[in-house]
Amino acid sequence: MGQRFFPLDEVLGLLPGRYTPQVQEAITRLGSRLSYGEAQEELVLLWKVAVSESGTRQVTLRHGQVANTLIEEKVAQLETDGMTATAQPEQIVICTDGAMVQLTNGEWREVKTVAFGEFDSRWDAKQKKVITQTAQISYFSRVATAEAFSREALVEWDRRGGDKARTVVAVQDGAIWIQSFLDYHCPRAIRVIDFAHAQAYVATVGRTIYGSDTDTFSQWYARMSRQLGHQPPQRTLAELRFLQRQHLDHPEAESIELAIRYLEKRLPMIDYPHFRRQQIPIGSGIVESGHKVVMQKRMKQAGMRWAEANLNPMLALRMALCNRRWQTSWREIQARVCQETYPKQAKQNPKTATASQPEVFTEADCQRLTALAEQLAKRKKQPWQNNRWVFPHRGPLLHQN
């Protein structure tokens, strides 16, 4: 009969590695907020922990890969079990777009992002008009094909209660993949072309004919923008066609035709007077700012390039931060790491598999044993997590084989 001793990190429900769970969380959180070099400096200053830049990267991305895997598993579960959301928003707006990030090999990849928000309208006495405000904004970002992105966004769509919303408004550009995204999630959504996007096509016609830096163009564009926002879209398109017929021999006639045709094909989605009367948003600013908040702030700093395999893991951590769901996400990451590290113990006692619910020790026990382990580690000059123990406590840890 032999004696089997539990590793200290297993007994305390700790994450494997050289650092305590608190330090590993700090490394991961800082590594997903700052560049790895900046995160390393903050760790030394705030936690008095000397971690190399490569070590910061490894810890951050290891947990990011777990977060990414959890997202994929949640998608599969939703497809199998159906939607489980309890949220019941009255009016929800979704805005979808893409932005580019550079890879280490010089190529570029599109990070697709969808922003969710709940909107409401109120009367602004100072401006003497109805103001539409969007609040409770959250994001979902991935590097994926259009089809895969639509499928994976089920996670955030379900959490926000998209299927239970009374009104769903989708404000975006007219890209085909975005329309397919809406067909997948909510065919009944009220579809609106972002007003600034429609203005850009009107401006294309005017710049081509009048020149971009002329007073004639500036005055014409200001008048057409007001007209587009407050008059039926047919009136604006009729005037654009009339202007086109006056310049049939223009050398860039094809550009004029493409701009007008783009708006004509999306006539119901540019009826801004109707949308204003319905008091629904006509701008996609929440996804434009979403690119900056989720991806660009961390992943497009000066000189940054990314390995393609690291994009989605980092985006998974960024979503946890930007959606203010860090604590929930970290508990899930921590539990999964412990479960994968100690599968036999997790199978024997699933409740002790999660680091958030250790049942062997009280918090005071954990603090006392951790301090004792650190003291012993100094004597032996080795990481304290590698020490194997038999501790006195309320129940036996010494197992007989």
pTM of the model: 0.80
Mean pLDDT for the chain overall: 85
pLDDT at 21: 86
Q: Verify that 176 and 205 share a domain, yes or no.
A: no
- Answer whether residue 173 is part of any domain: yes
Which residue reads 């936690």 in tokens?
Answer: 47
Which residue segment(s) compose the domain that 171 sits in?
Answer: 91-193+283-295
- Answer whether residue 156 is part of any domain: yes
Mean pLDDT of 176-197: 95
Mean pLDDT of 72-89: 90
Say which range, 161-175, 225-239, 322-336, 385-399, has the weakest mean pLDDT.
385-399
Q: Verify that 98 and 172 share a domain, yes or no.
A: yes
User: How far is CA 312 from its chain centroid?
Assistant: 10
pLDDT at 48: 87
Mean pLDDT of 121-139: 85
pLDDT at 343: 66
Q: Verify that 114 and 172 share a domain, yes or no.
A: yes
Q: Verify that 95 and 173 share a domain, yes or no.
A: yes
* Listed residue (92, 114, 221, 119) closest to 172, CA to CA: 114
- Answer whether residue 64 is part of any domain: yes
25-71 residue pLDDT tens: 999 999 999 999 999 999 999 888 888 999 999 999 999 999 999 99
- Answer whether residue 168 is part of any domain: yes
Q: Verify that 176 and 114 share a domain, yes or no.
A: yes
Q: Verify that 71 and 111 share a domain, yes or no.
A: no
- Answer whether residue 50 is part of any domain: yes
Identity of the amino acid at 153:
A
- Answer whether residue 316 is part of any domain: no
pLDDT at 19: 79
Q: Is the pLDDT of residue 396 over 90?
A: no
Q: Verify that 177 and 202 share a domain, yes or no.
A: no
Q: Verify that 9 and 147 share a domain, yes or no.
A: no
Q: Verify that 97 and 184 share a domain, yes or no.
A: yes
CATH number of the domain encompassing residue 173: 3.30.420
- Answer whether residue 309 is part of any domain: no
Using pLDDT thresholds of 50, 70 and 90, give the confidence band for residue 380: low
* Count of domains for the chain: 3
Q: Verify that 102 and 215 share a domain, yes or no.
A: no
- Answer whether residue 184 is part of any domain: yes
Q: Verify that 182 and 245 share a domain, yes or no.
A: no
Q: Verify that 24 and 97 share a domain, yes or no.
A: no
199, 224, 228, 250 from 215: Cα distances, Å: 18, 14, 20, 20
pLDDT at 17: 62
